[in-house]
Structure 1
Amino acid sequence: MKEVVTLFKEQFESLGMIFRISKYEDRASYQSHYLGLVWEYLYPLIQICIYWLVFGVGLKHGQSSGVDYLPWMVIGITPWFFMNRATLDASKSIYQRVSMVSKMKFPVSALPSIKIVSNLSSFWTMLVVSIVVGLIYGIRPSIYWIEWIYYFFCMIMFLIAFGIFNSAVSILIRDYHVLLQSVMRMLFYISGVLFNFETGSFPPVVTRLLQLNPFFYVVSGFREAMLGQGWFWQRPTLTIEFWLIVLFFLLVGSHLHYKFRSRFVDLI
């Protein structure tokens, strides 16, 4: 637990630097492209159109829980796009910069957080898009929308915990990042992003196992908040399970990080 406290202390002490570097990385990533940062928002919009045409039109998954498929899918895919990219970027953040930070005094634990923050701009844009799509389809603001604050906090906490874990393991096991990419592709289809497996034909045991996925907790949470389907405390078991998973990654990730941090350069 002491390592977890140290981890968060370094994050708070480095907040200013995290935001400055993430802003610079946003600009640097697309500086050689004609459309620049427009791709940050254009790519997910293109993906949404593809999934809507395939699953909403082609496969006739037109509705879920009485809601049109497009707004249902968009509000779920918005946090997924952010979590997917932030997870993969954070996992290789230390590996990419460890040679640089080894030559200067730098809080290495802040590198995964920089990647998380640098992806936030596209998340806010996509959230606005999902709200507009919802309004077009007749979804109106409700008191449940304040739950987005809670689920946003859940999302950031999970990404920090998962990011510090993945970034350390990616250095210790060089093949881990490749494996993580494959796992994230699989999780996309079993996290309730494109279809609602809770109302499907899955056996109860399979459905229960799929609900343990922390990505599902965040995706379904954002969706339930927008559609006004309930409060997070009405799902106490899932909530406790989610925070236990976050705590697990925090404890193991911070332990691996501080145990091997002085050897990161040698391990690479």
Structure 2
Amino acid sequence: MKEVITLFKEQFNNLRIMFRVSKYQSRSDYQSHYLGLAWEFLNPLIQICIYWFVFGIGLKKGNSSGINYLAWMVIGITPWFYMQTVTNQAAKSIYNQVGMVSKMKFPVSVLPSIKIVSNLSSFWTMLAFSVFIGFFVGGVTPSIYWLQWIYYFFAMIMWLVAFSIFNSTISVLVRDYRILLQSIMRMLFYMSGVLFNFQTNAFPAPLVRILELNPFFYVVSGFRDSMLSQSWFWQRPVLTILFWLFVAFFLVVGSHLHYKFRSRFVDLI
């Protein structure tokens, strides 16, 4: 628990640095491209069009419970794109930059969090786009359920902090872990209910219960529940408790491993 408190202290004490570095990295990543930062938004939009065409029109497998499929998919795929990008980038954040940071007075634990911050601009843009699609395509209207966006956004950030500090540390200790993580994320994309609704009679009940344990599914379905006015988060007490247990596990284990091996990161790399 002591490591968890230390981790959060380092995050809060370096918030200004995190925002400055994330802003610089966002610009440097696209400075040689003609469209620059526009690619942060064009890439997910292109993928959304492809998934909508394949699953919403072509295969017609995106069972969205009577809701317009495009609106249903965009609302769920927005937090997924953000979590996927942050997870993959944060996993290699320490491995790629620990050499530079070791020469500066800069806590290494902040590196994964910088990836969380640097991708927020594209997340907010995509979220606004999903609301637009919900209004004009899905016929969605604002309701009191939209207030729980705040809760699910907080839950998403906490999950990313916990999962990122764990992944970034393991990636230094085990070289093959980053490759394994990429494969796992590709698998979770189809197991998180992003493109199709597995909570239907088409899937065996035991399989549905297993798939619902996925923390990524909890966030994705939570954003949909908020915008589509379906239910409050406390109406899913078991899934909510399990989600926060996942967060606590990765936060405690990740923090412990991070501070245990941090002094050896340069040597391990």
**Equivalence for 1:11:** 11
**Equivalence for 2:54:** 54
Contact conserved, 2:75 with 2:224, CA < 8 A, in 1?
A: yes
Measured at CA, do residues 37 and 200 of structure 1 come closer, stay the same or move farther in structure 2, by a change above 3 Å?
A: farther
State how far apart, in whole Å, the 1-side matches of 2:104 and 2:184 are: 34
State how far apart, in whole Å, the 2-side matches of 1:115 and 1:62 are: 31
Unaligned runs of 5+ in 1: none
**Equivalence for 1:108:** 108
Contact conserved, 1:88 with 1:181, CA < 8 A, in 2?
A: yes
State how far apart, in whole Å, the 2-side matches of 1:150 and 1:111 are: 25
Supply the RMSD in Å over aligned alpha carbons: 0.8
Measured at CA, do residues 202 and 55 of structure 1 come closer, stay the same or move farther in structure 2, by a change above 3 Å?
A: same
Deviations 1:219-257 (A, max 9, x none): 000001000001000000000000000000001000000
**Equivalence for 2:265:** 264
Over 6 Å off, 4+ runs: none
What count of residue pairs does the alignment treat as equivalent? 268
What amino acid does structure 1 have at the position aligned with 2:191?
I
**Equivalence for 2:243:** 242
State how far apart, in whole Å, the 2-side matches of 1:34 and 1:61 are: 37
What amino acid does structure 2 have at the position aligned with 1:262?
S
Contact conserved, 1:91 with 1:166, CA < 8 A, in 2?
A: yes
**Equivalence for 1:2:** 2
Deviation at 1:120, TM superposition (A): 0.6
Deviation at 1:168, TM superposition (A): 0.2
State how far apart, in whole Å, the 2-side matches of 1:90 and 1:200 are: 37
State how far apart, in whole Å, the 1-side matches of 2:127 and 2:32 are: 27
Give the secondary structure class of the aligned counterpart of 2:47.
helix
Deviation at 1:104, TM superposition (A): 1.5
Contact conserved, 2:95 with 2:168, CA < 8 A, in 1?
A: yes
Q: TM-score, normalised by structure 2?
A: 0.98
Unaligned runs of 5+ in 2: none
Contact conserved, 1:193 with 1:219, CA < 8 A, in 2?
A: yes
State how far apart, in whole Å, the 1-side matches of 2:52 and 2:238 are: 32
What amino acid does structure 2 have at the position aligned with 1:179?
L
State how far apart, in whole Å, the 2-side matches of 1:144 and 1:166 are: 33
State how far apart, in whole Å, the 2-side matches of 1:140 and 1:35 are: 34
Of 69-78 and 195-204, deviating more is 195-204
State how far apart, in whole Å, the 2-side matches of 1:68 and 1:203 are: 24
State how far apart, in whole Å, the 2-side matches of 1:188 and 1:180 are: 12
**Equivalence for 1:173:** 174
Give the secondary structure class of the aligned counterpart of 1:187.
helix
State how far apart, in whole Å, the 2-side matches of 1:218 and 1:105 are: 35
